[in-house]
Each structure stands twice: as C-alpha cells, then as structure tokens.
Amino acid sequence: MIAKVNQNKTNPTTLSNETGLNEEALVTLLRNSYELQQQETQEEEEEEEEEEEEETKTSQNSIANEEIRECPMCYWEFPKQFTLENKKEHIEKHFA
C-alpha cells in the first residue's frame, strides 16, 4: 500500500510531463505564441484604423464634392455661378 501512494505523489500531472518537453522549452513556446497573438491583434487593429480613416476621407470627399444645388428652404435651384457664400447668404435670409 505504501508503495502505491508514493508512486502517485512522485509523478504529478504537469504540462511538461504530458508533452515531454522541459519547462524552459514550454515557457519559450508559450511566450512566442503569446507574442504572435499580440502582433496579430495589433496588426488587425491597425488595419481597422486604416479602413476607418479611408472611409472617413471618402465620406468627407463625397460631401465636399456634392455641391448644394438648391435651397433646402424654398427649393429654388441655385444658378451655377453662385458661390458657396452666396448660397449660405440666400439660406440665411429665410431665417431673417
């Protein structure tokens, strides 16, 4: 009976026992795996940020390119020679 009890205590179940690798190799393996995961996460975040920036630029450009063609208050179509300032003045007159 004593031999059986001692046998169970001497061979605890550990990752190094199960894999056959020593502790140093396991630590190195796990560290490298963690670092790779961190790099992948960082790269994904950077890609998402770049995509968001591109979407913002695209939407800003489309807004800038879409010129106000008519008054939102009276729906009068502005003449082509009207500048943005002229259009703002016309719209502000509705509130005066």
Reported as a single tens digit per residue, the pLDDT across 16-51 is 777 777 888 888 888 999 999 999 999 999 999 988
Q: Residue 7, SS3?
A: helix
Reported as a single tens digit per residue, the pLDDT across 54-74 is 887 776 655 544 578 888 889
Residue spans of the domains in the chain: they are 2-65, 68-96
Residue whose pair of structure tokens reads 């046998």 in the numeric block:
7
Cβ atoms of 68 and 76 closer than 8 Å: no
Cβ atoms of 35 and 43 closer than 8 Å: no
Tally Cβ neighbours within 10 Å of residue 45: 10
| pTM for the full predicted model | 0.39
Question: To which H or E segment does residue 29 belong?
Answer: helix 23-65
